[in-house]
Structures are given as structure tokens and as C-alpha cells.
Amino acid sequence: MADISIELLGLRFKNPILTAAGPTSRDGMTLLNAAAGGVGGLVAKTVSVKPADVPKPNMAALKEGRVGSRRGILNAELWSELPLETWLEREYPIALSAGLPLIASVGYTPDDVREIAPKLEKAGVQAIEYSTHYVGGHVEIAKALRDAVDIPIIAKLSPKVDVAEVAKSLEPHVDAIAAINTYGPCLRVDIETGKPMLGSEMGHGWMSGSALKPIALRCVADIASTVKIPVIGVGGVATGEDAIEFIMAGASAVEVCTAAILEGDVIYGKIAGQVKDWLDSHGYESIKDIQGVALPHLKQGITLEPPPTVDLDKCTRCGLCEKSCVFHAITVKKKENLFVIDPEKCEGCGMCVSVCPFYALSY
Ligand SMILES: Cc1cc2nc3c(=O)[nH]c(=O)nc-3n(C[C@H](O)[C@H](O)[C@H](O)COP(=O)(O)O)c2cc1C
């Protein structure tokens, strides 16, 4: 049975799935609920010198049409609406009672974090993540934190910067990098009213969820290829396979926000269980066995000599590949148990390989 526990920042996590700063980590009770849902470690909602004045509404689901499947969220939630004192006196102690590693999140300026961080350390949090979402000056904030506390520091990066460059400049000053925060600004309009779906300025919101995942994954790979300190992946993790993808791209652990908003606290344990099952079914013993395995391939590149190989035992003749083959190279007939690729027509685009839910096609 695979061991999915990890050691990160000198802390032991029973699994590599952490909460992320957001509404699903907004206070002590919410973090306790995440612990009950099977999460491996706690990252709390960002706190700052003043409580946030949050616009309403501040969350809108991203879906295909009105009833389509949910792919993510636009949010304009800002940081915690609770005063820092409430976190120090009530919320962190409640969260600590879960017995899991607790990482606080702070923002935003060097002066802000210098004032707040020692109080967080005194409250017993085991590491501090800082968000650079609304301000630049990454190194100045890292230095201010390093001077202010002895516990490990994690810099959380926005996808709008050159993450590899920023990570390199931060490497001497922080213990880990978390990537990424939400992407934006973005917009959604309610077509019944013609109004924006969010109450923020110009209706602007920041995107998270599965639409963010490829951006986050690229950022994690860029950072992991550039620095030696650990990288925590965040952005669109909703399944064990998503988490595996991040770990293969170099992440030591992942944080989950949107999937927990959309699916509830059970999602953490579900993702952790799927990671374990995947490792077991593929003959791996631990997270370390797969960490960063994609990185050398990214440098070398891959190529497909068309057509792709098909494993007819795995193929269920579902026809998804045929539907998405723009070159009309694939013919599938379920009743006749037929699957044919025409090598003359196949251009080697790779779409069918990525579409197949049964991993029946490969390069
Ligand atoms: C409603 C909402 C509120 C968020 N609040 C914060 C926050 O206070 N601090 C922060 O660093 N990130 C915040 N985030 C960003 C998440 O922590 C995470 O980086 C991002 O949503 C991508 O992960 P996901 O796709 O799993 O949601 C927030 C995200 C959402 C959706």
C-alpha cells in the first residue's frame, strides 16, 4: 500500500492535500470541517491589518450555459472579513485543535506583514504563506517576514508574473513557493438582466477551478525547473488525477479551494484516497516516486509518429475519439465492436489520446 504522507517545511502531513486560502478556510470551524473531510494540512484564509470590506455578490460559478457542468468560479472575495484579533483569540486556536499542521496566510505590504506575522507565530501557526495578489514587491515582503518570524515562509504567486523569475529572486528568502493565485480580472454577465454577476468594480472577478489548472500546472513546472525549494501546486485540483499531475510537474503538495466550494469538505479525503489508489494501481510506493517525473520530458519534448497505438482491450468503443477527430481518421462502431484508425488520414494531432477516458490510446 502506497504511503501518501509527506514531509514539507519540517512538518509531517498525513497526505499531500491542503486547504487553500478562501471561503473554505475562512474561520476555525471551517478548517475543522476540512480536517473532518480528510485534508492533510490546513492553510487559513488571508488576514491583513484591517478586515476586508467584501463586495456582494462576490462568487459566480463558471459553467457551460445555465445548467452545464461547473468548471470553476469567478470571485471578488478579497481577504478575511474577520479582525486579526478574532483570528488570534479564537479561529487559530480552534483550527489548531484539529491536530494538523496549520499555515496562516497574510497580506499585503512589507509593513503589514511585519506587524501581523509575529502575532501569528505566537498564536501557534506552524508556517506563514503570504499572498502577493494585489501588490508586487515579492522580495521586500519575504525579507520583512524573515526578519519578523522564525517559522517557515511560503510565497504564493500570481499567474500574472514571470513565476520562474520571481521564484528565483525569492529562493534565498523563502522556504517554499505556492503557485498559483486566481487569474484575472475576468467577467460574467447575467443574460436575464444584462448586469454583471459580481458586485465588484466593473463586475471584475478572479478565475479559479479547472479552467485555471493548465496555467497553474505550467507555473508549477516552470518554478520546479528553476528553484530547489519545494513548490505547492494550487489551481483546479478536483481529483486524485489532478493532484498526481501537479506532483509529476514537481509539486510537493497541492492546495484545494474551488473543488471544496463546489463539492464540500469530503473532497479532500476523496482526492487523497484517489492519489493512494492511483499510486497502488501503478505500482508506486510513495509520492516521492512520481514527484517531478514530467520535468525531464518537458525539456526533451515528445513526438508522435501517427497513428497512435490503440489497446483494444481497454477501448470500450464509446466513440468519443471519433467525435473529436477533426481529420475523420477514426471509425468506431459499437454494435460491430469495430475500431479503426486510417493512417492516411491521421495527422498525429494527439486529440484522441487526450480525449479517451480509458487510456486506450497512447503515443
Ligand atoms: C472565493 C475565493 C476566495 C479566495 N481568497 C483567497 C485569499 O484570501 N487569499 C489567497 O491567497 N487566495 C485566495 N483565493 C485563491 C485560492 O486560494 C487559490 O489560489 C485559487 O482559487 C486556485 O485554486 P482552486 O482552483 O483550487 O480554487 C481565493 C479563491 C476563491 C475562489
38 and 18 Cβ atoms separated by less than 8 Å: no
Closest to 245 (Cα-Cα) out of 267, 207, 281, 217: 217
The C-alpha atoms of residue 185 and residue 207 are separated, in whole angstroms, by 8
Closest to 157 (Cα-Cα) out of 104, 99, 63, 223: 223
Whether 257 is in the pocket of ligand 1, judged by its Cβ within 6 Å, is: yes
The C-alpha atoms of residue 91 and residue 357 are separated, in whole angstroms, by 42
Using CA atoms of 306, 249, 228, 155 in order, give the dihedral in degrees to the nearest 10.
140
81 and 72 Cβ atoms separated by less than 8 Å: no
The C-alpha atoms of residue 113 and residue 2 are separated, in whole angstroms, by 39
pLDDT band at residue 177 under the 50/70/90 scheme: very high
Distance of alpha carbon 129 from the chain centroid: 15
Amino acid code (one letter) for 45? K
List beta partners, residue 13. 6
Domains of the chain by range and CATH?
6-298 (3.20.20.70), 303-362 (3.30.70.20)
Ligand 1, residues 50, 217, 257: which to mutate, most atoms within 8 A of Cβ? 257
The C-alpha atoms of residue 323 and residue 282 are separated, in whole angstroms, by 29
The pLDDT of residue 134 is 66
Amino acid code (one letter) for 307? P
The C-alpha atoms of residue 250 and residue 278 are separated, in whole angstroms, by 17
Closest to 11 (Cα-Cα) out of 154, 206, 134: 154
Tell me the mean pLDDT in the region 322-346: 96
pLDDT band at residue 137 under the 50/70/90 scheme: confident
Whether 75 is in the pocket of ligand 1, judged by its Cβ within 6 Å, is: yes
Give, using CA atoms, the residue closest to atom 5 of ligand 1. 22
The pLDDT of residue 136 is 72
Give the Å distance between the CA of 241 and the centre of ligand 1.
20
Q: What is the pLDDT of residues 238-297, one digit of tens each?
A: 999 999 999 999 999 999 999 999 999 999 999 999 999 999 999 999 999 999 999 999
270 and 38 Cβ atoms separated by less than 8 Å: yes
Q: What is the pLDDT of residues 78-133, one digit of tens each?
A: 999 999 999 999 999 999 999 999 999 999 999 999 999 999 999 999 999 998 87
Distance of alpha carbon 199 from the chain centroid: 25
The answer on pLDDT for 216 being more than 80 is yes
Q: What is the pLDDT of residues 48-64, one digit of tens each?
A: 999 999 999 999 999 88
Mean pLDDT (the chain) is 96
Give, using CA atoms, the residue closest to atom 10 of ligand 1. 21
pLDDT band at residue 28 under the 50/70/90 scheme: very high
Whether 243 is in the pocket of ligand 1, judged by its Cβ within 6 Å, is: no
The answer on pLDDT for 361 being more than 80 is yes
The pLDDT of residue 133 is 75
The answer on pLDDT for 4 being more than 70 is yes
The C-alpha atoms of residue 108 and residue 134 are separated, in whole angstroms, by 7
DSSP state of 264: -
Give the Å distance between the CA of 236 and the centre of ligand 1.
10
Closest to 148 (Cα-Cα) out of 103, 110, 177, 175: 110
Give the Å distance between the CA of 141 and the centre of ligand 1.
20
Give the Å distance between the CA of 166 and the centre of ligand 1.
20
175 and 154 Cβ atoms separated by less than 8 Å: yes
Give the Å distance between the CA of 207 and the centre of ligand 1.
9
Which grid coordinates are listed for 115? 506587524
Closest to 208 (Cα-Cα) out of 108, 71, 79, 77: 71
Give the Å distance between the CA of 362 and the centre of ligand 1.
35
As a whole number of Å, the CA-based R_g of the chain is 22
The answer on pLDDT for 237 being more than 90 is yes
The C-alpha atoms of residue 306 and residue 64 are separated, in whole angstroms, by 33
Q: What is the pLDDT of residues 138-175, one digit of tens each?
A: 899 999 999 999 999 999 999 999 999 999 999 999 99
The answer on pLDDT for 199 being more than 70 is yes
DSSP state of 286: B
Whether 179 is in the pocket of ligand 1, judged by its Cβ within 6 Å, is: no
